[in-house]
Structure 1
Amino acid sequence: MLSFFVAYAKSSTVGPRVGRLTRVGQKAIKTPHYVATTSRGVVPHISHDTLQKHTAVSSIYLALEDFIEKRITGAPIFKTPAKDGESPLRKYVAAQDDVLSILGPRRVPALPCPAHNNGSAISICTSVGFSQLNVNDYHDALRTLRPDIAITMADVVMHGTASVKRIEKSADRTHAWLRDACEQLSAHEKSSSKPAIFAAIPPIANVQQSLYLQDLAEEYRHMLSGLAIYSSTTAVDLPQALFDLPRMSLSEPGSPHSLLKDMALGVDLLCIPFIGFASDHGIALVFEFPGPDLAIDEPRPLGIDLWSIENEASLLPLSPHCECFTCTRHHKAYIHHLLQAKEMLAWTLLQIHNLSTMDRFFDACRKSIANGSFEEDVELFTRRYETDMPAKTGSGPRIRGYQIKSSGGGEARKNEKAWDRFDDMAQQIAEAESGLATAEGDSKQLEDQGIAERV
């Protein structure tokens, strides 16, 4: 049901490559490409009709921890009515039929949990607090929800530096969980309903998980449709038998420079959280690849801050060469006004533009790789653009609890107070007015207050 074809590769081991990922009944995805991350099953700030009309999103990453609470059993998503062969996951999130659905256990980026993983479960962050996701429950969820692509569970260490023994446990647990996933998902009655399996590769050195990688190439190769890597460095020195599998990165690139490094190592699909972060912070991405051929004295910024007063009266589009819905119909001053007014439309228009920017970026990267000029173009891009994203200056939309890590009791509010008690506000107004001079009293009193002068 899922096929991948490498159209061009500079090397048969590691290096940038161009490919095509195809699933029956869906549009082919040209790689390298990005995967849109979701929150509670939707791309942030974008409604489903807007996603279809004004973006070119071809695949979405969904996290099971977004849909479950303290206990996985009884979650509404598992009660979604679906006909034979339909995906309850796709129906629940109302995803388009031509968009590839990818289901993993945790979000990207994942919020660190206070509890550690164990031999049969990983720690997750649900909408009502931290919990444990049992590996058997996860495999049951994959069979029930039927995503297009199922990412196997990995024991990812998220608590600082790990010991050698802990790293060995990580590789062994991931290995065992992959075996269980292949056995349970392969036992499904109808092959058309089986999700394609992407084997998770934890972010540890390949030498320390050599046995696991060897088994992927020899024992499980015929059951796998791709690889899900948590660190792009693991794409180096993979077994040759795994070369023709698509590689999806679940790392957390913070800038387009990081994306280029991943593509240079042969990564095909990349989750990019900074697209949503930029939109949240009121930043419009304006970079191009390899960048404008202009003489510049210093690197250009990767984005512009629409909160800045400099954009208050600018009638220019967000990016001069962008033809997205936002840039062809609105200008910087309008987006600046919407941000100041805290209108949700501001973040919707920014998200449309930022997704369009990434579409052009990856399209240019694919052409550069196919032309054999990728390394030179990356050097040009590095010289022409700053290495870091613009700093956040304005406040974004309201922060949801699962997006941030709690520091314990007594911590400051994450969102400003939107309203107050009327009697408290009336008291504050009265106190403010009490300190003002008023035109009351006789002429002597008015003259003493400096309001009038007797003639």
Structure 2
Amino acid sequence: MSPLFNLLKTSEKSLRLGRLTLIKNQEQKVLDTPNLLAYTSRGCVPHLTPDNLSSIPLIGAINVTLEHFIDVQPPPSTQFPYGIHKFLNFEEYLVFIDVRDPGNLNLMSNNTDKHVSVYTAHGVRQVTSDSYIKYMNIYKPDIFVSLVDNITDEAPSLKRIKRSVDRTLRWLDDAIYHVKEGAQVFGVLTGHKNQEERIRSAQETAKRNVAGFVLNGKCLGSTSRECVDILKPSINHLPPNKPRLVYGLGTPEDILLGVSEGIDLFDTSYVLKMTNAGNAFVFSLDIKNDLDSFNRQQQIISLWDINYQNDARPLLAGCQCYSCKNHTRAYVHHLLNTHEMLATVLLMSHNLFHYTKFFKDIRESINQDMFSLKVEQFFRVYSDGEKEQKNLSSIILN
């Protein structure tokens, strides 16, 4: 299997419209970018069964986390002989594996030259480079991320930063050399907040035979703009013909910012966070009105709000997801108040469907050379005052 990433359209503002194609066992999987990787917990998209997930047609890729499987080592799942796709019933999707949970990267114990520490339901476990590659050769994912020595200290020494880059590159070399044919490796870019080390990490990783790149925006900067500015030295030294995945950018504003800086793939842990809080997405990039007639609108609504107890409207008018076509705000409000599991099933179904539609609209806006206008409309409608001006200047004018 050889991955192919085609850039279908680019612009001088770093916008990228691409297509990732993988052929495995004579089957082709295609993922248009910018796009999302569906977040999973313990091998399933939270709150959804495979049947629920199949009702969201725009989902093309799944992000699986080894951290959720290694309470016991070796993981019992490695005894299954037919690979991770069949084990998790994700055969129709592109399966992407990382060792850490992208929604939980702030938790970190000390790593060493021999292992990475991860958090499980039964405490901290250590994953060595040899064991990780062994598991990946058994699981046979489409893509996996090499081990990374992440730093969560606010002000690490230069020696610690350099050690992080060196360890990560060494583990990447191990993964590329020992992985069996059939799985592709994404390299991770490190360097914390040091520009020279971020450039070195990007340049050295780009020299390797990697299928793409991962940037972790967690613990970098107090705002999304600061985070992206720290990542830019890495992004600026990457080849254009390979996809870039970023962790830590989840809100609609974050996604638009990342896309404007040339990011291709995003995780969806933010969708789970909003679902668990009882919120439904109601924002849209596809705004038809004239700019001068816009009124401020909400991005999300909380179905805990008592105002929805008699609201017979769907979560979002015009939405084609299962929840909106079959149920009302009042019903979801009732389910939340009675602590019924169906509440989060319906909310997750809607929110994930809605987020895939958001990315589809982003791709269409880039293709039609309408991205800047759509972003300006978005912030005019959904942001307020100082925040609006800050984001507009950050995303459109810079």
Partner SS state of residue 55, structure 2: helix
| Pairing 1:78–2:111 present | no
Query: Among residues 91, 115, 140, which one is paired with 1:121 in the alignment?
Result: 115
**Higher Rg of the two aligned structures:** 1
The 1:230/1:203 distance shift into structure 2, 3 A limit, reads: farther
- CA distance in 2 between partners of 1:236 and 1:266 (Å): 12
User: CA distance change for structure 1 residues 267 and 135 in 2, over 3 Å: closer, same or farther?
Assistant: same
The match for 2:52 is 50
Residue type of the alignment partner of 2:19 = R
Q: Residue type of the partner of 1:156? A: N
Q: 2:85 aligns with which of 85, 90, 95?
A: 90
Aligned to 1:401: none
Superposition TM-score, scaled by structure 2 size: 0.87
Q: Check whether the contact 2:70–2:125 (CA below 8 A) recurs between aligned residues.
A: no
For residues 196-211 of structure 1, what are the structure 2 equivalents within 5 Å? 196-202=184-190, 204=192, 205-211=194-200
Partner of 1:351: 348
Secondary structure, in 3 states, of the residue corresponding to 2:367? helix
What pairs with 1:40-439 in structure 2 (closer than 5 Å)? Answer: 40-69=42-71, 72-73=73-74, 75-82=75-82, 88-95=83-90, 97-113=91-107, 115-185=109-179, 188=180, 191=181, 194-202=182-190, 204=192, 205-218=194-207, 220=208, 223-231=209-217, 232-233=228-229, 234-236=231-233, 238=235, 242-249=239-246, 251-291=247-287, 293=289, 299-386=296-383
Report the CA distance between 1:225 and its aligned residue: 1.1
Runs of 4+ in 1 over 6 A off after TM superposition: none
Residues 1:203 and 1:382: Cα distance change in structure 2 (over 3 Å): farther
What secondary structure sits across from 1:361 in the alignment? helix
TM-align CA RMSD: 2.1
The alpha-carbon deviation at position 125 of structure 1 amounts to 0.4
Change (3 A) 1:335 1:26: farther
Question: Partners in 2 of 1:313 and 1:296 — Cα distance?
Answer: 30
Instruction: Provide structure 1 residue ranges, at least 5 long, that are not aligned to the other structure.
Output: 83-87, 388-455
Deviation at 1:110, TM superposition (A): 2.2
Moved more, 251-260 or 33-42: 251-260
Asked if structure 2 preserves the Cα contact closer than 8 Å seen for 1:236 and 1:265, the reply is no
**CA distance in 1 between partners of 2:4 and 2:39 (Å):** 22
Q: Give the number of aligned pairs.
A: 368
Cα 1:309–1:292, aligned 2, differ >3 Å: closer, same or farther?
Answer: farther
Alpha-carbon distance between aligned partners in 1 of 2:79 and 2:365, rounded to the nearest angstrom: 46
- Aligned-residue offset at 1:138: 1.0
Deviation at 1:56, TM superposition (A): 2.8
Q: CA deviation at 1:328?
A: 1.1
Identity among equivalent pairs (%): 29
| Structure 2: 5+ residue stretches without partners | 218-227, 385-398
Cα deviation for residue 298 of structure 1 reads: 5.6
- 1:416 aligned partner: none
- Partner letter of residue 17 of structure 2? V
State the Cα distance separating 1:341 from its structure 2 match. Answer: 1.3
Q: For residue 434 of structure 1, what is the aligned residue in structure 2?
A: none
Change (3 A) 1:298 1:165: farther
Could you give the per-residue CA deviations for residues 84-139 of structure 1, whole angstroms, max 9, x where no partner exists? xxxx21222221x2211000110012254463111121110012111221122111
Deviation (angstroms), 1:206: 4.6
Q: TM-score normalized by structure 1?
A: 0.76
